[in-house]
């Protein structure tokens, strides 16, 4: 069973970036308004994410890193989603099968925080205690998850990830995208030993200011809002919001960010359609900045295509992609300023 778990974990967690994505999403799900990431060697040695969210109940700590342990399936309708939305409760379990995980958490009204240490999905003892029971400790409301020595037990994977800088760059990139998408949440990322954060995107910044901070002035120069209100197309609950560049993003590489139901995803079909529309209305190979946030019924999104849930397919893709391309074309046509 350990081998199976490790293989399953390896498909979900291929590199530190994947762990950070899952942990960020958990922090956001817990209602955090401030998320701080600390990295050593691009997360290969240590990655720690601190949030000020709801915290975790003491009673849940023993099961937290077991597969399919989730607090997010409560209603009957949620059960339906298991089929299409991927199994839940796999992220922490997967991480704990390829790394050493420490969780410190405190809920509102708790007298003190609890600290728990996990190996292979189970609570484990940590020095100086010879018990694996969670230990009381100091802490503020929220959760701190520390992931150490990722892939310590997967030598092949560890050897393949030699470049801490590359891992670091990927994590920053990911956090910047979540920062742009998540209004009212502050994000910061620091390397161990550094006093100044590598990125610090306050919740007070507007989305345009965040984009300017991350991608430069050029990215915001010709931004236009793309909006498809609910009811525009014949797909229940579908709506879209975003910002798109209406002029060539000059010598920069294109940037395409898409969230579906608040998860950063990749959709090859959507990207191709956007490429094509820009080529047609600006010029072939024009580079662009596109940020889109799509909402649809969760059961319309198929994330099972890839175990890490990054590449998605969705129902009514023709209607949805068609509507987005049309809207984009309309915005690119009316750029007579
Ligand atoms: P899922 O997010 O699909 O439920 P995870 O393995 O990512 O599964 O997390 C398991 C559970 O751990 C979550 O359902 C949640 O109850 C709890 N949890 C994880 N991270 C946090 C956090 N930062 N704050 C509060 N609860 C958390
Ligand atoms: Mg999760």
Calpha distance 51→26 (Å, rounded): 10
For ligand 1, atom 21: residue with the closest CA: 26
Instruction: Tell me how far apart the 2 most distant CA atoms of the chain are, in Å.
Output: 71
Q: Is the CB of 101 under 6 A from ligand 1?
A: no
> What are the residue boundaries of the structural domains of the chain, listed by start?
2-201, 210-333
Report yes or no: 108 and 64 within 8 Å, Cβ to Cβ. Answer: no
Calpha distance 104→6 (Å, rounded): 24
For ligand 1, atom 23: residue with the closest CA: 27
What's the whole-model pTM score? 0.91
Is the fold of 2-201 the same as that of 210-333? no
Calpha distance 300→101 (Å, rounded): 33
Calpha distance 190→170 (Å, rounded): 14
DSSP-derived secondary structure for 270-301: HHHHHHHHHHHHS-TT---EEEEEEE--GGGE
**pLDDT < 70 regions, the chain:** 1-11, 68-69, 72-88, 251, 302-310, 335-337
| Residue among 129, 178, 146, 168 at smallest CA distance from 16 | 168
Report yes or no: 335 and 244 within 8 Å, Cβ to Cβ. Answer: no
Q: Rounded to the nearest whole angstrom, what is the distance from the C-alpha of residue 199 to the centroid of ligand 1?
A: 25
Ligand having the closest approach to the CA of 70: 1
CATH 3.40.50.720 fits 2-201, yes or no: no
Q: Is the CB of 53 under 6 A from ligand 1?
A: yes
DSSP-derived secondary structure for 101-118: EEEEEE-TT-SSEEEEEE
Residue-wise pLDDT for 227-240, tens only, equals 999 999 999 999 99
Q: Rounded to the nearest whole angstrom, what is the distance from the C-alpha of residue 26 to the centroid of ligand 1?
A: 5
Strand residues in 165-311 grouped as ranges (E): 186-191, 199-201, 223-228, 239-245, 255-260, 263-265, 289-295, 301-302
Q: What is the pLDDT of residue 67?
A: 74
Q: What is the pLDDT of residue 82?
A: 46
Residue-wise pLDDT for 284-295, tens only, equals 888 999 999 999
Which uninterrupted H or E stretch holds 51? strand 46-51
Q: CA 298, 179, 287 angle in degrees (round to 5)? A: 90
Q: Which atom of ligand 1 is nearest to the CA of 94?
A: 6
**Residue of 5, 24, 28, 70 best suited for mutating to test ligand 1, as the one with most atoms within 8 Å of CB:** 70
Fold of 210-333: Ribosomal Protein S5; domain 2 (3.30.230)
Q: In the chain, which ranges are continuous DSSP H helix? A: 2-12, 16-29, 76-85, 91-98, 155-160, 164-181, 207-215, 217-221, 268-281, 317-333
**Residue of 22, 33, 50, 71 best suited for mutating to test ligand 1, as the one with most atoms within 8 Å of CB:** 71
**Distance linking the first and last C-alpha atoms of the chain:** 63
Query: Which ipTM did the prediction report?
Result: 0.99
């Amino acid at each position: 069973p350990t081998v199976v778990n490790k293989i399953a974990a390896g498909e979900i967690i291929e590199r530190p970036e994947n762990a950070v994505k899952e942990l960020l999403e958990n922090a956001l799900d817990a209602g955090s308004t401030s998320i701080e990431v600390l990295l050593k060697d691009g997360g290969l040695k240590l990655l720690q994410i601190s949030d000020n969210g709801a915290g975790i109940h003491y009673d849940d700590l023993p099961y937290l890193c077991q597969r399919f342990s989730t607090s997010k399936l409560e209603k009957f309708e949620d059960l339906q989603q298991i089929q299409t939305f991927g199994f839940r409760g796999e992220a922490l379990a997967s991480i704990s099968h390829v790394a050493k995980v420490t969780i410190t958490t405190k809920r509102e009204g708790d007298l003190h925080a609890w600290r728990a240490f996990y190996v292979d999905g189970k609570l484990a003892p940590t020095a100086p205690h010879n018990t694996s029971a969670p230990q009381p400790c100091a802490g503020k409301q929220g959760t701190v998850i520390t992931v150490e020595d990722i892939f310590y037990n997967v030598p092949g994977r560890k050897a393949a990830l030699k470049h801490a800088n590359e891992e670091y760059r990927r994590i920053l990139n990911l956090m910047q995208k979540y920062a742009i998408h998540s209004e009212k949440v502050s994000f910061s990322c620091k390397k161990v030993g550094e006093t100044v954060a590598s990125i610090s995107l306050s919740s007070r910044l507007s989305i345009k200011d965040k984009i300017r901070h991350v991608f430069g002035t050029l990215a915001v120069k010709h931004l236009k809002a793309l909006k498809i209100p609910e009811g525009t197309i014949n797909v229940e609950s579908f709506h879209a919001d975003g910002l798109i560049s209406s002029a060539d993003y000059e010598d920069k590489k294109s940037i395409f960010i898409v969230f579906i139901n608040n998860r950063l995803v990749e959709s090859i079909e959507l990207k191709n359609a956007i490429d094509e529309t820009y080529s047609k209305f600006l010029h072939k190979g024009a580079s662009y900045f596109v940020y889109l946030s799509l909402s649809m019924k969760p059961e319309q999104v198929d994330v099972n295509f890839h175990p890490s849930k990054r590449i998605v397919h969705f129902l009514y893709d023709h209607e949805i992609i068609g509507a987005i391309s049309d809207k984009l074309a309309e915005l690119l046509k009316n750029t007579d300023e």
